[in-house]
Chain A
């Protein structure tokens, strides 16, 4: 390649490297916060909310996003759908990875500092049942988890990757499987925190 094409491509290349550099982080964060203000305009949004990638919104009801909530990753959009008369509340400092789908027909309440892995799906209405969904504080839903209607997940609990939750999960527990069973959080994988 030569000339102008070369120059353009190396400029693009340098731009792509920006996110990997410390100074780049600062710039990218500013962009992400601005992007959040734009994507979520018109809704109740707290301070310091950031959006890293595309966000798909269809909000006919009420949306409330707490301070410093972040939507990270930009592989595929995260989707928030709130039907007329429905309410979605997201507690402060919760983090959403890419491809998450939240669909609310009545009410979904999410506590503080919750974590949503890529492709998590939460819907309070499926073909058969409908019921509000509640997540306490510090709940971690790993990659690909599916939460069904009417489920309450207690604070501090973890849902293992790939699980499908159809029943309540008590606080400080681990839910695992399809359909998920609840077990003690201390039945963790051998290579884990310690």
Chain B
């Protein structure tokens, strides 16, 4: 129990030293903030790493932006070599993963260096489901939803829902 307390404390110290935090940011549990890049966390963001740690990994030159009011569940992992942006009030549910680079080339020496990055931009008021995977180049418009377990690597228009395997897009029927 003391060990839990120690790891929680050290991870919160690490986050505060490695990220730029806005006002009233709520940090609970373990947060792994690493990589040498830039992590920008807006006002009223909530990070809950009590059950499973949250990973925010920005490589040197990379930036992770969490907009105002974003909520991040336990087990979530965000990796940026260039840029990952999460819009205001978006929810990232348990164990979903967002990355802007595959980090290994497909063939040859896979440790020789990362392929080119492709920034990921998630709009405001989006909902990223449990264990969803948001891959390099994905763009989610405001209010878009990624259902549980879906793998998204492309544009999802505002208000649309994407889910299933292969991923199927449902345009929102609600206008306005």
Does B73 make an interface contact (CB < 8 A)? no
Chain B 75-105 residues near chain A, CB threshold 8 A = 75, 77, 95, 97, 99, 102, 104-105
Chain A 161-194 residues near chain B, CB threshold 8 A = 161-162, 172, 174, 177-178, 185, 188-194
User: Shortest distance in angstroms between B36's beta carbon and chain A's nearest beta carbon?
Assistant: 5
From A74, A76, A177, B165 is in contact (CB under 8 Å) with A177
Does A13 make an interface contact (CB < 8 A)? yes
A75 to B75, CA, bound (A): 9
Q: Mark A7-31, 1 if CB is under 8 A from B, else 0.
A: 0010011001101100000000000
Does A48 make an interface contact (CB < 8 A)? no
Q: Mark A57-87, 1 if CB is under 8 A from B, else 0.
A: 0000000000000000011100000000000
Does B163 make an interface contact (CB < 8 A)? no
A172 to B106, CA, bound (A): 10
Chain B 121-153 residues near chain A, CB threshold 8 A = 131, 133, 135-137, 149, 151, 153
Asked whether A118 and B151 contact (CB < 8 A) given A16-B13, A140-B104, the answer is no
Asked whether A75 and B13 contact (CB < 8 A) given A144-B97, A191-B136, the answer is no
* Smallest CB gap from B9: residue in A: A12
A13 to B33, CA, bound (A): 12
Contact at B105–A118, with CB atoms within 8 Å? no
Instruction: Give every chain A residue within 8 A of B151 (Cβ-Cβ).
Output: 160-162
Contact at A193–B105, with CB atoms within 8 Å? yes
A13 to B104, CA, bound (A): 31
Contact at B53–A144, with CB atoms within 8 Å? no
Contact at B13–A185, with CB atoms within 8 Å? no
Interface size class of A (residues with CB under 8 A): 35 or more
Contact at B115–A192, with CB atoms within 8 Å? yes
Contact at B77–A16, with CB atoms within 8 Å? no
Asked whether A161 and B118 contact (CB < 8 A) given A177-B166, A178-B165, A185-B107, the answer is no
Does A122 make an interface contact (CB < 8 A)? no
Instruction: Give every chain B residue within 8 A of A16 (Cβ-Cβ).
Output: 10, 13-14, 17
A19 to B55, CA, bound (A): 16
Instruction: Give every chain A residue within 8 A of B27 (Cβ-Cβ).
Output: none
Does A112 make an interface contact (CB < 8 A)? no
A188 to B153, CA, bound (A): 12
Does B22 make an interface contact (CB < 8 A)? no
Does B155 make an interface contact (CB < 8 A)? no
Instruction: Give every chain B residue within 8 A of A193 (Cβ-Cβ).
Output: 105-108, 115
Chain A 99-150 residues near chain B, CB threshold 8 A = 113, 115, 118-119, 138, 140, 142-144
User: Shortest distance in angstroms between B1's beta carbon and chain A's nearest beta carbon?
Assistant: 17
The interface of chain A, by Cβ under 8 A from chain B, is 9, 12-13, 16-17, 19-20, 74-76, 113, 115, 118-119, 138, 140, 142-144, 156, 158, 160-162, 172, 174, 177-178, 185, 188-194
Pairs of residues from A and B, 8 with the lowest C-beta to C-beta distance, nearest first: A193-B105, A178-B165, A162-B151, A191-B118, A162-B133, A16-B14, A193-B115, A75-B53
19 new A-B pairs (CB below 8 Å) besides A9-B13, A16-B13? A12-B13, A13-B14, A75-B32, A75-B77, A76-B75, A118-B97, A140-B104, A144-B133, A158-B106, A161-B151, A172-B107, A177-B166, A185-B106, A188-B106, A189-B136, A189-B153, A191-B115, A191-B116, A192-B102
Task: Return 8 A-B CB contacts under 8 Å, by A number.
Answer: A13-B14, A16-B13, A20-B36, A144-B131, A158-B106, A161-B151, A174-B106, A191-B137
